[in-house]
Chain A
């Protein structure tokens, strides 16, 4: 059937590539013309080439199901990229930098003087109930006062075209390796498109990450030793851990490779004996990081790691306790947090959020469950969510009970009509909902990825973009239109 932009339905949505049926946006015009000229056979060939590239490059992720246990799946990928004009992106980028700067100030304040609580902006009891607040971190001052060195913020756009931050991931956000690999796949499959369109490169990320990590090294030595700490090959993001270590030329270590001696210094066990480690990019959750302090049964962590960190002998990214700011209830306060610390208005909006802990909000939520999306405060990956308009009556009633039992743990947001982009279904295109996860690095300097990871819900009408639940991804192009 080939690609006919005249048959592509845009009505009711904001589409990322087309202004209206048959009418591409300026930045996407070149791509849309290119796609329209393809024959069915060529589309099939390009899809097959992309699948082959993904297979050959070994891009996989792990999913868990009750029937089959853990399986490695090839990364589902749509060959039509998502395009953003560079001018628009620059504003988003500024907004992200502002947001992460304020979040880092917030975390540092929370674990130290707590001005924001004393000034009555942020309620103290929220902190006590937060499952990501680590009392073990109170009084610690990490280098440069940065706690969240790597942040992945999920952005969405509604039917009016407004960009919102949906959530911030400040613990161990993943996905950046897929952003980098998606670009590699596209370059292999459509080399000619890169000649015609000015697409900004994305592959600076590993060196920026490395620079960020070096900047928190406690030792001023010429070549600090940087290690990526992974839970091991059974973790769903192991591919990414290995990939980033390889790209940075850092060591990929497991907990059992590291040891903290009585001198509170972290060493790795090598064939030459023990070698000192300066910076650890840890991809293990807080609670498994150090059995001396957190979960005593953890086999993944390193006994004594917190001692070494508190003594200032090792840099940890992200710092333990940074997750306190990605609690979904804390999210609701981010606009106030930005105003409080930076004396600025937020450049990117938050999705309007009802905090079930407030009586008025809770009553509204309980009365309007059929219109709202309800999220638990501390879950990620789309688990444990209620999508009101699509849920059954029983599911809504069950969530009503959950909220009443533990109001602190729930927030609710209006159902956003997420933007769409054309996605291949067979050899024709249909609109599918998507989001965007850019990554923000904070150390000596601040970097934002050029675009980020676009995740797309491959099921018709679905808005769940998580790869574990039927999501796929697209390459994200920031296109420079100056001089076009």
Chain B
């Protein structure tokens, strides 16, 4: 029996929202680390994060200043921000409710549980001390769901939609996490800051649980071009943009009437592999990331138009 469009849409967004909660938590982690590593006088604080999500408008509707507390509130508990941890998990829950007959019961319960945890402990995220524990639990919560779905849900078309949503979201957020460290944030022509450069790339890798895998794959010092190459183009690291795009490709290949979506994805992959990270200076890197995000958005657009 072929899958209802509405159901496919809900599963796809369930995948996206579960992944988004995890990545927002990762992004908060990377910025917290970064702030601790940088010398006080060049710290840029939390304002750039709002930029990176493209949510300036929503933010300044509710807050006057991008101080740590306001930004964290906005990213964790604000329900007007579609990327906040709490809205992501609440949307995941609403999507799951409408497909109760499709996803395993235990998964439905776990989705519920993740939301309840996020809501009840949200104040801990606002304190520096409680933050890491909270983010760690959000990340583990999403990863547990991913594991449960992989291990208990039939790997049929519905599962393809789930994986597709997860990987598109992941690719998008990986580019945003890299963007935190990109040109708009830190002036690299400042000689004084060069010693900090590598340490900061280490923290980016760590925020994506990528440090160990990077060392194994690249066997190199942590240097900007290599880190970029790893996070953009590595074929086997699960959070690299290219890997995520290959996962999407695999999903699309399992779906009917897929020619157009596949073509859009292929052109994105081509752009991705052609890039030479060592040549991407700050400005170009930011532009390149913008281009990738637009490419991902058009894949999303194709899928929506084709199946939902």
Q: Is B108 in contact with chain A by the CB < 8 A criterion?
A: yes
Q: Give every chain B residue within 8 A of A245 (Cβ-Cβ).
A: 101
Do A233 and B4 touch across chains, with their CB atoms under 8 A apart?
no
Which size class do A's interface residues fall under?
Answer: 20 to 34
- Residues of B in contact (CB 8 Å), total 20
**Which interface residue of B4, B94, B105 has the most chain A CB atoms within 10 A?**
B4
| Among A266-274, A391-399, A404-412, A436-444, the stretch in contact with B | A266-274
Do A257 and B256 touch across chains, with their CB atoms under 8 A apart?
no
User: Which residues 233-256 in A have Cβ within 8 Å of B in the complex?
Assistant: 233, 239, 242-243, 245-246, 251-254, 256
Give every chain A residue within 8 A of B5 (Cβ-Cβ). Answer: 257, 269-271
- B residues in contact with A268, CB < 8 Å: 4
- How does the 8 Å CB contact mask read for B68-94 relative to A, with 1 for contact and 0 for none? 000000000000000000000000001
Q: Is the pair B256, A271 in contact by a Cβ cutoff of 8 Å?
A: yes
The answer to whether B4 and A56 have CB atoms under 8 Å apart is no
The residue from B2, B98, B108 contacting A58, defined by CB atoms under 8 A apart: B108
Q: By the criterion CB–CB under 8 Å, are A58 and B105 in contact?
A: yes
User: For B6, what are the chain A residues with a Cβ–Cβ distance below 8 Å?
Assistant: 254, 256-257, 269
Across the two chains, which residue of chain B brings its CB closest to A239?
A: B100
Q: How far is the CA of A233 from the CA of B94 in the complex (A)?
A: 9
A251 touches B8 (CB 8 A): no
Beta-carbon contact of B257 and A272 below 8 Å: yes
Q: Say whether A425 faces chain B, with CB atoms less than 8 Å apart.
A: no
Judge if B157 is at the interface, Cβ distance under 8 Å.
yes
| Interface assignment of B97: CB less than 8 Å from any CB of chain A | yes
- The CA-CA distance from A208 to B243 in the complex, in Å, is 47
Taking the complex as formed, is B133 at the interface, i.e. its CB lies under 8 A from any CB of chain A?
A: no
Tell me whether chain A's interface is mostly helix, strand or loop, or mixed.
mixed
Q: State the Cβ distance, B305 to closest chain A Cβ, in Å.
A: 12
When C-beta atoms are compared, the residue in chain A nearest to B158 turns out to be A271
Residues of chain A within 8 A of B256, CB atoms compared: 271-272
With contacts A256-B6, A271-B255 known, is A251 near B1, CB below 8 A? Answer: yes
Q: Is A114 positioned at the interface, with any CB of B under 8 Å from its CB?
A: no
Determine how close the nearest CB of chain B comes to the CB of A225; give it in whole angstroms. 7
Return chain B residues, CB-CB under 8 Å to A272.
2, 256-257
Residues of B within 8 A of A200 (CB): none
Partner pick for A56 among B1, B98, B109, CB 8 A cutoff: B109
Q: How far is the CA of A243 from the CA of B100 in the complex (A)?
A: 8
Are A271 and B8 closer than 8 Å at their CB atoms? yes
Shortest B307–chain A CB gap in Å is 5
A259, chain B: closest CB distance, angstroms: 11
Could you mark each residue 56-71 of chain A with 1 if its beta carbon is under 8 Å from any beta carbon of chain B, else 0?
1110000000000000
Residue A257 contacts which of B4, B97, B100 (CB distance < 8 angstroms)? Answer: B4
Is A275 among interface residues, defined by CB-CB distance under 8 A? yes
Distance A421 CA – B161 CA, assembled complex (angstroms) = 50
Complex Cα–Cα for A233 and B3 (A): 19
Residues of chain A whose beta carbon lies under 8 Å from any beta carbon of chain B: 56-58, 225, 232-233, 239, 242-243, 245-246, 251-254, 256-257, 268-273, 275
Please report B residues at the A interface, Cβ cutoff 8 Å.
Answer: 1-6, 8, 94, 97-98, 100-101, 105, 108-109, 157, 255-257, 307
